[in-house]
Amino acid sequence: MIRFIISRTFQSLMVLLIMSFIIYLLLGLMPGDPIDLMVGSNPEISSDDIQRLKELYNVDKPILERYLIWITNAVQGDFGYSRLFSQPIMDILAPRLFNSIVLMSVSLVLALLVAIPAGIYAATHPNSLLEKAINFLCFAGISIPPFWLALLFILLFSVFTGVLPASGMETIGDGSVIDRVHHMILPVATLSMATIAGYTRHVSASMTEVLQNDFIRTARAKGLLEKSVLWRHALKNALIPVVTIIALDFGSLFSGALITETMFSWLGMGKTIYDAIIGSDYNLALIGLLLATVLTLTANIMADIAYATLDPRINYQKKN
């Protein structure tokens, strides 16, 4: 097991290294040149200064050399400065990472609280009216453009009724817990909606499959209560693939968070990355993207470990 974790971690580090190079290359192809941007904001700059800046930021060197310099600094914890905010990258990203994690985890918990019962119901009551309704809602959930869902929520709850704030994380000057929760309702609702639909389908499919197993028939034949059969025998087994899918799905949760954060001006990682790319703040975009990749890869490793821990039948030593 430990050997498996080490080898998976090593693989993920390789992916991260390759991704860092690809992203570095791609950001080098973005419109504009960081020195030009600095020059543009200062009309009194001389051509000597420009040359000096170019040397300072290594812009005159070939891309591979620049990448090597950058990664040597990055490994030592020096991520550089943000152009938009004129602050060290980590000072900007740390609080935003926290905001994103709050948004994503609350949405995730909410999604699971709805999806597990809904999925079980759909699997145990096939062809019932409610099952058909759940199924239809799942299709609607995976088909609705998330940014449009956000627009609809804003339209319904802010424009028409005015009960919930349309954007932001708190009312300026207030900042109490109630106010913050009030601002969270619409972003969380938006982000969990698409997630709920996907998760419900997974739970229901997994549960349907497990319920066809012999040990379920045995459990029923023993005269166990249906409640006990479902929750203790079936669900335990049905959740194993679901846990894996949820962890593997972390990348799309992050993509969803990017849209939600942009729509509701929620100061999280996704919005920061988007603003950094649009505002040609390459350093910030680079670190933000890599941080997002690290999060996703970590979630994937955790998925594998969870799979192995939850299901004792899986033995990684043998297969790998």
Partner 1 sequence: MSTRILKTQKSAFFSRFLNTSPAVISLSFLSLMILIILLAPIYEFLRAADPTRVDLFNRFLGPSGTYILGTDELGRDLMLRLLNGGKVSLSIGLITSIIVGSIGTVLGLTSGYFGGKIDSIIMRFADTIISLPLLPLLIVLTAIDLSKLGIPQTYIDMPFFSTCKIIIIISIVGWPTIARLVRASTLTVREEDFIKVALAQGYGPMRIIFRHILPNVTSPIIVATTLAIGNIILFESVLSFLGLGIQPPVASWGNMLTGAQELLYEDPKLAIWPGTLIFLTVIAFNFLGDSLQRAFRTRSIQIIE
Q: Given the rule CB under 8 A, which residues bind partner 1?
A: 15, 19, 23, 26-32, 139-140, 142-148, 151-152, 154-155, 158-159, 166, 248, 250-252, 254-255, 258-259, 262-263, 270, 273-274, 277-278, 285, 288-289, 292-293, 295-297, 300
Q: Considering beta carbons, is residue 224 or 243 the nearer one to partner 1? A: 243
Q: Please, what is the minimum distance in Å from the beta carbon of residue 106 to partner 1?
A: 19
The Cα–Cα gap between 119 and 117 comes to 5
Q: Please, what is the minimum distance in Å from the beta carbon of residue 4 to partner 1?
A: 16
Q: Tokens representing 10?
A: 């090593």
Q: Please, what is the minimum distance in Å from the beta carbon of residue 255 to partner 1?
A: 3
Q: Considering beta carbons, is residue 192 or 281 the nearer one to partner 1? A: 281
- The pair phi, psi for residue 212, each rounded to 5°, is -85, -5
Q: What is the DSSP letter of 172?
A: T
Exposure pattern of 17-48 as b/e (b: 16+ CB <10 Å)? eebbeebbeebeeeeeebbeeeeeeeeeeeee
Q: Considering beta carbons, is residue 30 or 113 the nearer one to partner 1? A: 30
Q: Considering beta carbons, is residue 274 or 316 the nearer one to partner 1? A: 274
Compute the chain's Rg from CA coordinates.
Answer: 24
Q: Considering beta carbons, is residue 30 or 163 the nearer one to partner 1? A: 30
Q: Tokens representing 157?
A: 């709850």
Q: What residues pair up with 179 in beta bridges, in sequence order?
A: none
Q: Please, what is the minimum distance in Å from the beta carbon of residue 232 to partner 1?
A: 30
Of 288, 290, 264, 256, residue with least CA distance to 274: 288
Q: Considering beta carbons, is residue 32 or 117 the nearer one to partner 1? A: 32
Q: Please, what is the minimum distance in Å from the beta carbon of residue 139 to partner 1?
A: 6
Q: Please, what is the minimum distance in Å from the beta carbon of residue 254 to partner 1?
A: 4
* Alpha helices (runs of H) in 33-78, residue ranges in sequence order: 34-40, 47-56, 63-75
Cα 198–202–207 angle (5° rounding)? 150
Q: Considering beta carbons, is residue 169 or 276 the nearer one to partner 1? A: 276
Q: What is the 3-state secondary structure (H, E, C) of 249-266?
A: CHHHHHHHHHHHHHHHCC
Expressed in angstroms, the distance from the first to the final Cα of the chain is: 10
Q: Please, what is the minimum distance in Å from the beta carbon of residue 248 to partner 1?
A: 6
